[in-house]
A and B are shown apart, each in its own frame.
Chain A
């Protein structure tokens, strides 16, 4: 593994402040926790919420009746074209894996958000960030394993899914508008003496209450306090002003760009999984206008992010996943929109554990059906885990109950893995 000195130093800095959290991690460890140190693997999920159109991005059909007004452009993979709205991405396509044959058959935001992140339809399973936070957990982790960054606007379906039966410790900490979580600073009215006395009282009470009871909810309570403590200690991660102006420019001075910049800082600081939600792909009207705006933001920021991760030596241990909850209809509606579509659409990956320069699967000429190599949301979930070095056929083992990590009816797509 190729880790640059910078990231090692950074990691060590975080470890220096980790003393108190060790106990919490040990407390919550389960039968799946392994004792030998694992190589660091991280996940960055860029979730295109609302559902990006595959036609305007990864799988253009120029000139087809369903193709829309835009052209396709050549990419760094000879003979492969993508939509003209992604000119920067086109130049680095040889570093990506693109799947053009996603067949989730879900045309609903809520179900799609859940299924594309949990790899299941049945409710109650952990979403990708939570699952990976659990499965990649190491005894010396200080910060929450999963942080989700989004804008602070109401849109219930983007918050679908949680840690399910893994419990609150693995639930994403929500960061809104790049602001540190609320209440990160102790108010003046609370003296340090009071804080530590209250903490001692809580720990003593929890320790006694745990005797002879189901330890999970009690550990979950404990975990939230140790993670709160760690976040309070390390709140400078959220100080984006520490990044040079040029970095802000490269990432883009818009919501998505700034959120991705914070995501990089969080990954660098040792958070195992970060999700950034890119909003408003749900273009039931004016799909083409709106995809120009969305793609322009996504395109440059995405390429900057990959370059930055690579330069910092982080990309070879970080899996970057770009997906939404569904694609958009081949048919273009009366208001120039495309609607919900789950039968044949596209996603992309880069970084740790996946092929480079691979375009997998295909759709028919009109883009209405998968023509070759269909891939389900369950298959994708298996594949993400395998790329991160996790045996996706394994089980969670929690208090004697086993539960398959990934849907046993689905399989990893081996061709996508490096």
Chain B
């Protein structure tokens, strides 16, 4: 049954002292972890309705993702990755890894949860085993900051998204050989300005569809344009459709397919106006949005598929001064 945004109901809200960048549920749905512009990882125990802050990182926590074995993986701006074991009464460090020499901008777990990939500011892309954090592969360095990474369900291909000036790219690589199989230039998401010769945009988030057949690239159209997402065919590189949100300004910061019906959810916005927007599975119809109080920086679907947690920021002017996690439950 398709998800109906109009039937979504608020299911809880948790204020966080610092602005947020990432959020993830654990496998049981009991814990909700959130990270952001702080060294502490926020752990919400949804069962006990208790919030704790966990130490382990000493930089901003930009990415979180759920892996197999009750793990949630977190990655920070200094290159450190931590696996949190969420099977017990509170999340505990399973292992810690100094994964990159530079800021990790992207983290993605494979569909089977057994491995995950990290990508950094210098274009290094590495793949690891989830259970112990040992290396499982590495791509030849890509020439630009990597803002997105995804592991294909075939277990062979790795897709990256970058910030190449004027022509941000999606690259499909063969992990074993390191060969580049396909390059897609996504000029629509460029925010290049000739004045200072800087790419201010780029593909800021990227996901694969559950079958691996589609790539969704998220970002912003132009230097000060509107957030948007574009869907491509993973094999041919052809553009399938553009998802144009009516919300002006800001970025599209993330996307996710609903496993049950293949429809798509994106998140984004700007300070004071954010959204979770729903798009039809086969035709990309705009099916409406849940308006949120600030830019949705990240979101995660509850393992039961019937709830979503979104991490957003609130503040005055253009300065977010704190974060907020909001939960919504879908009707039907």
A82 to chain B, nearest CB (A): 16
Number of interface residues of B (CB under 8 A): 32
Interface contact A280-B196, CB-CB below 8 Å: yes
Interface contact B319-A333, CB-CB below 8 Å: yes
Set of chain A residues within 8 Å of B77, measured between Cβ atoms: 69-70, 288
Task: Tell me if B280 is interfacial: C-beta within 8 Å of chain A.
Answer: no
Interface contact A334-B200, CB-CB below 8 Å: no
Interface contact A71-B58, CB-CB below 8 Å: yes
Interface contact A285-B200, CB-CB below 8 Å: yes
The complex places the Cα of A332 from the Cα of B317 at a distance, in Å, of: 11
Interface contact A69-B103, CB-CB below 8 Å: yes
Given contacts A69-B60, A332-B37, contact A154 B18 (CB under 8 A): no
Interface contact A289-B145, CB-CB below 8 Å: yes
Interface contact A65-B196, CB-CB below 8 Å: no
Set of chain B residues within 8 Å of A288, measured between Cβ atoms: 77, 103
Task: Tell me if A290 is interfacial: C-beta within 8 Å of chain B.
Answer: yes
Interface contact A153-B18, CB-CB below 8 Å: no
Set of chain A residues within 8 Å of B270, measured between Cβ atoms: 334
The complex places the Cα of A63 from the Cα of B250 at a distance, in Å, of: 27
The complex places the Cα of A279 from the Cα of B197 at a distance, in Å, of: 10
The complex places the Cα of A69 from the Cα of B103 at a distance, in Å, of: 9
> Which of B18, B58, B76, B320 touches A334 (beta carbons < 8 Å)?
B320
Interface contact A334-B37, CB-CB below 8 Å: no
Set of chain A residues within 8 Å of B102, measured between Cβ atoms: 292
The complex places the Cα of A62 from the Cα of B76 at a distance, in Å, of: 14
Task: Tell me if B121 is interfacial: C-beta within 8 Å of chain A.
Answer: yes
Set of chain B residues within 8 Å of A331, measured between Cβ atoms: 319, 321
Interface contact A65-B195, CB-CB below 8 Å: no
Q: Which of B279-309 contact A (CB under 8 A)?
A: 295
Task: Tell me if B51 is interfacial: C-beta within 8 Å of chain A.
Answer: no
Given contacts A289-B145, A292-B121, A334-B318, contact A70 B195 (CB under 8 A): no
B135 to chain A, nearest CB (A): 24
- Binary per-residue interface labels of chain B (185-216) against chain A in the complex, 1 for a CB within 8 Å, 0 otherwise: 00000000011111010000000000000000
Task: Tell me if B271 is interfacial: C-beta within 8 Å of chain A.
Answer: yes
Interface contact A334-B271, CB-CB below 8 Å: yes
The complex places the Cα of A333 from the Cα of B19 at a distance, in Å, of: 10
The complex places the Cα of A62 from the Cα of B320 at a distance, in Å, of: 19
The complex places the Cα of A289 from the Cα of B251 at a distance, in Å, of: 17
Task: Tell me if A155 is interfacial: C-beta within 8 Å of chain B.
Answer: yes
Tell me which of B39, B103, B315, B318 has the highest count of chain A C-beta atoms within 10 A of its own C-beta: B318
> Which of A63, A292, A332 touches B39 (beta carbons < 8 Å)?
A63
Set of chain A residues within 8 Å of B271, measured between Cβ atoms: 334
Interface contact A292-B103, CB-CB below 8 Å: yes
Interface contact A71-B78, CB-CB below 8 Å: yes
B318 to chain A: closest residue by CB: A333
Task: Tell me if B96 is interfacial: C-beta within 8 Å of chain A.
Answer: no
Task: Tell me if B59 is interfacial: C-beta within 8 Å of chain A.
Answer: yes
A134 to chain B, nearest CB (A): 32
Task: Tell me if B164 is interfacial: C-beta within 8 Å of chain A.
Answer: no
The complex places the Cα of A70 from the Cα of B77 at a distance, in Å, of: 7
Task: Tell me if A286 is interfacial: C-beta within 8 Å of chain B.
Answer: yes
Set of chain A residues within 8 Å of B76, measured between Cβ atoms: 69
Task: Tell me if B245 is interfacial: C-beta within 8 Å of chain A.
Answer: no
Set of chain B residues within 8 Å of A282, measured between Cβ atoms: 196
Q: Which of A325-369 contact B (CB under 8 A)?
A: 331-335, 339
The complex places the Cα of A334 from the Cα of B58 at a distance, in Å, of: 21
The complex places the Cα of A288 from the Cα of B196 at a distance, in Å, of: 17
A290 to chain B: closest residue by CB: B198
Set of chain B residues within 8 Å of A280, measured between Cβ atoms: 196-198
Interface contact B18-A65, CB-CB below 8 Å: yes
Interface contact B313-A334, CB-CB below 8 Å: yes
> Which of A70, A286, A290 touches B59 (beta carbons < 8 Å)?
A70
B141 to chain A, nearest CB (A): 16
The complex places the Cα of A70 from the Cα of B251 at a distance, in Å, of: 24
Q: Which of B36-70 contact A (CB under 8 A)?
A: 37-39, 58-60
Interface contact A279-B196, CB-CB below 8 Å: yes
Given contacts A65-B18, A155-B195, contact A289 B103 (CB under 8 A): yes
The complex places the Cα of A332 from the Cα of B21 at a distance, in Å, of: 13
Set of chain A residues within 8 Å of B60, measured between Cβ atoms: 68-69
Interface contact B195-A153, CB-CB below 8 Å: yes
The complex places the Cα of A157 from the Cα of B173 at a distance, in Å, of: 44
A236 to chain B, nearest CB (A): 30
- Binary per-residue interface labels of chain A (75-109) against chain B in the complex, 1 for a CB within 8 Å, 0 otherwise: 00000000000000000000000000000000000
B139 to chain A, nearest CB (A): 20
B118 to chain A, nearest CB (A): 16
Set of chain A residues within 8 Å of B320, measured between Cβ atoms: 332-334
Interface contact A71-B59, CB-CB below 8 Å: yes
- Binary per-residue interface labels of chain A (36-65) against chain B in the complex, 1 for a CB within 8 Å, 0 otherwise: 000000000000000000000000001101
A62 to chain B: closest residue by CB: B58
Set of chain A residues within 8 Å of B19, measured between Cβ atoms: 332
- Binary per-residue interface labels of chain A (284-302) against chain B in the complex, 1 for a CB within 8 Å, 0 otherwise: 0110111010000000000
B interface residue numbers (CB < 8 A to A): 18-19, 37-39, 58-60, 76-78, 102-103, 121, 145, 194-198, 200, 250-251, 270-271, 295, 313, 315, 318-321
Q: Can you report 17 A-B residue pairs in the complex whose CB atoms are below 8 A from each other?
A: A63-B39, A68-B60, A69-B77, A71-B59, A280-B197, A282-B196, A288-B103, A289-B103, A290-B198, A292-B103, A332-B320, A333-B319, A333-B320, A334-B250, A334-B295, A334-B318, A334-B319
Q: Known pairs A288-B103, A332-B19; list 5 more (Cβ under 8 Å).
A: A65-B37, A69-B77, A279-B196, A280-B196, A292-B102
A-B complex: 7 closest residue pairs judged by Cβ atoms: A69-B77, A69-B60, A334-B271, A331-B319, A333-B318, A69-B59, A280-B196
